[in-house]
Amino acid sequence: MSLSRHAAVVISGTELARQLHREIQRDVEELVAQGNMRPHLGVVLVGDDPASRTYVKNKTRAASILGISSDTVVRPSSVSQEELLELIDKMNRDWRVSGLLVQLPLPEHINERAVCNAIAPEKDVDGFHIVNIGKLCLDQRSMVPATPAAVWEIIKRAGIETVGKNVLVAGRSKNVGMPIAMLLHTDRNHERPGGDATVTIAHRCTPRERLKELTSLADIIIAAAGVPKLITADMIKEGAAVIDVGINRIQDPNTGKLRLIGDVDFEGVKEKAGFITPVPGGVGPMTVAMLMKNTVTAARNALMH
């Protein structure tokens, strides 16, 4: 893709996800044609949070479209941690379950880290188990968390060069910001190839003026802080690639309804950037697609054991 000095190439995560869907469908049908069981995604949903219900619905709908079977086990928000861990253990031992995820966040009385670590690493399609996180840090093949994997896949498929480039990751969460930084800075010749970029991580304690300095030097900006309009046009250099991971629900002043925006001032930044992802329709669809890819990977890996 060629860069424009006046308007960014808007990367459609929806279109890239369609490409990935076709590849995943082929992989699924190949597995089944070889006489193997259809990949199966097990989902655990605790409570009745509307956003969590929507996320789970999106995941199971995508699975159905791609030929991946799935089932969702719902437990009330009053479920005890012990009961939840027993359920996970049961699903770990169920040979029909290729991939397993527990939708986050969980109620306050449940330790999320304990729950993530209870999922068998080989079935951990979210990539949150401590073993998978450790392998990610060591550049070994593992289940990579879906959102960081989506960002990396978008960058590669859009043809954005990373080797030797300056990258600013705004956000240091253990599930998103940090894994993205890991993927982008590591050696492209390792077992799990990385981007060979020079990566800087900013976070809530980074002074605003310092953040502006860092973004002005960045060839690639990953906005993953959960702060609306954190990145504005005056902060970036001409032609930078801007990947917006933010998901913020704000009230539309005109309609009074909630609408989804990212961490980037899209309208302003797109006039100066080289590449930009929208919200919605950017990283989100690719995140679900990468989760499906992880499920197929888990099914393939199970055949080797």
Residues facing residue 220 across a β-bridge: 167, 241
CA angle 10, 13, 14 (to 5 degrees): 115
Name the one residue in this structure whose structure tokens are 């629900």. Answer: 249
Sheet (strand 9-10) strand order: 9-10, 275-276, 241-244, 220-223, 166-170, 198-202
Structural element, H or E, at residue 275: strand 275-276
| Residues designated catalytic | 59, 103, 126
CB-facing half-sphere around the CA of 252: CA atoms within 13 A: 8
The residue among 298, 297, 274 whose CA lies nearest residue 20 is 297
